[in-house]
Amino acid sequence: MTRSTRARRHGTVVAAAALLTFGLAPAAAAHPEGPADSRDPGVVLGWNAIAWRTIAVEAMKPPPVAQFYLGLVSSAVYNAVVTVEGGGEPTLPQPDVDQEASSEVAAATAAHDVLTAFFPASSAALQVDYDIWLAGVPSGQGRENGLKAGQDAAAALIASREGDGRDAPITLARPAVPPPGMWVPTGTGEWLTPWLGFTRPILIDSPTRFAPDGPEPLGSEDYAEDLAEVASMGTATGSGRSEEDTAMALFYFDNPPRQYQDAMRDRAVRHEMDIVESARMFAAANVSAADATITCWRAKYESDYWRPVTAIHQADRDGNAATTADVAWNSLRPAPAYPEYPSGHGCVSSGTAQALANLFGKGHLDMDIVSLTPEVMGTTRHYDSADAWLDDVVDARIFLGIHFRDAMDDARDVGRAVADHVVDRWFSGHTGGDD
């Protein structure tokens, strides 16, 4: 069995990443000398970009569902790579690889097969991507064994998801006159994908294992303070925000799974991370974020808590003498189409950030996150600390006017707890690149 060594073809990886940025297939990820002798992570980065295109662009899955599928693809790729290379424990049982095998072929095959199984409408495009990439791989035992390892990893992942609750017809009854505190649509649609909270997680054992303690009672002092904060800082006009506060809010009005996939690919290139390190990074972060999101969606279902815009409009119904109704109030940006507590963005962000902090070590995140929100298009925020990253996310979602602070703080705790468990159990090996 081969073992991972540091990849030094920095220019090749940069070229592959640049091609992928413009949506092109990763032909540059194959090398003339044959992938059985290379540990270049370009194939992992390339198929991560293809996975995003397939899941979010072609299938148009919303961010929480996209994060779930990114977790599935990333875990299959990781299982294929470490089965060939060693350096980690697969998350599902895998057949042994007794002879020399290409970990690059295994990674590409696992990603291709999982995406094709879950997104058959994209099978033709995925086959083109796969054929172009594989055409650059010399024939031989390494290629054939790599194909088998990738097929086995995909098959194990797909089989593990049978009957997992995806797309179940979950609904939540709402009376004709909802009581104070109950979520109602705020103009962006009905409850989006409630089934996600009843889906079997990828690596944690239950959607309720790391459940938060629930939103603040409407009559409490803490609730009144949270409402006053979002009413002042999250209003569309006349807010207490600075220009920097508004810019940060808009920065995190982007699609978080997309932002974080891009940032992880960038980090892998800059730190010349090898194929095992890169596969581990994507799997640990994406699975942690996926399972945190499933936990979050179950808690949203259980709490069914109203958004700030509804709470402020109906503050005269909440039984709290410290709150005041303002029927003209509007948030800086529209609230997503699901209950407020806990924050979905907060769960994705904290699951991702905490997993990366656990992998790379305190103070060594080195993440450059880019926003494509039109008003701040192309701006970048750099983070060496998970705490600094999450502090910004928490404030940003309040400044957008779509969350109470309690929902952000509790989402942060959910993501951290899930990531600590997932990384400690399955991904605790060092993957620090040049750190």
Q: What is the pLDDT of residues 77-117, one digit of tens each?
A: 999 999 999 999 999 999 999 789 999 999 999 999 999 99
Least confident of 7-21, 302-316, 330-344: 7-21
What is the Cα 3 distance to its own chain's centre? Answer: 29
**Is it the case that residue 1 has pLDDT exceeding 50?**
no
**Does the CA dihedral 403-409-412-417 come out positive or negative?**
negative
**Is it the case that residue 35 has pLDDT exceeding 50?**
no
Instruction: Dig out the tokens for 328 from the structure.
Output: 């003209």
First to last CA, the chain: 27
**Is it the case that residue 29 has pLDDT exceeding 70?**
no
Share of the chain above pLDDT 90, in %: 88
d(CA 111, CA 102): 15
DSSP state of 315: G
pLDDT of residue 40: 78
Q: Would you state the torsion angle of the CA atoms of residues 182, 183, 184, 185, taken in this order, to the nearest 10 degrees?
A: 180
**Is it the case that residue 16 has pLDDT exceeding 60?**
no
The band of 41, judged by pLDDT with boundaries at 50, 70 and 90, is confident
Do residues 434 and 271 touch, judged by C-beta distance below 8 A? yes
The band of 429, judged by pLDDT with boundaries at 50, 70 and 90, is low
The band of 39, judged by pLDDT with boundaries at 50, 70 and 90, is low
Average pLDDT in the 269-296 region? 98
Instruction: Dig out the tokens for 97 from the structure.
Output: 């690889």
User: Mean pLDDT for the chain?
Assistant: 91
**Is it the case that residue 19 has pLDDT exceeding 90?**
no
**Does the CA dihedral 119-125-128-130 come out positive or negative?**
negative
Do residues 347 and 415 touch, judged by C-beta distance below 8 A? yes
Do residues 376 and 248 touch, judged by C-beta distance below 8 A? no
HEC profile of 418-432: HHHHHHHHHCCCCCC
Average pLDDT in the 216-226 region? 98
pTM of the shown model: 0.91
**Is it the case that residue 391 has pLDDT exceeding 90?**
yes
Share of the chain above pLDDT 70, in %: 89
pLDDT of residue 36: 38
Do residues 12 and 136 touch, judged by C-beta distance below 8 A? no
Do residues 368 and 242 touch, judged by C-beta distance below 8 A? no
d(CA 207, CA 294): 6
Do residues 362 and 428 touch, judged by C-beta distance below 8 A? no
**Is it the case that residue 31 has pLDDT exceeding 90?**
no
Between helices 141-160 and 63-85, what is the axis angle to 10°?
A: 140
Neighbours of 384 (CB within 10 A): 14
d(CA 7, CA 273): 7
| CB-based burial label for 82 (10 Å; 0-12, 13-18, 19+) | buried
- Per residue in 350-381, pLDDT (tens digit) is 999 999 999 999 899 999 999 999 999 999 99
Do residues 305 and 183 touch, judged by C-beta distance below 8 A? yes
Domains along the chain with CATH numbers: 10-160 (1.20.144.10), 194-426 (1.10.606.20)
Task: Encode burial over 201-211: b for 16+ CB neighbours within 10 A, e otherwise.
Answer: bbbbeebeebb
**Is it the case that residue 304 has pLDDT exceeding 80?**
yes
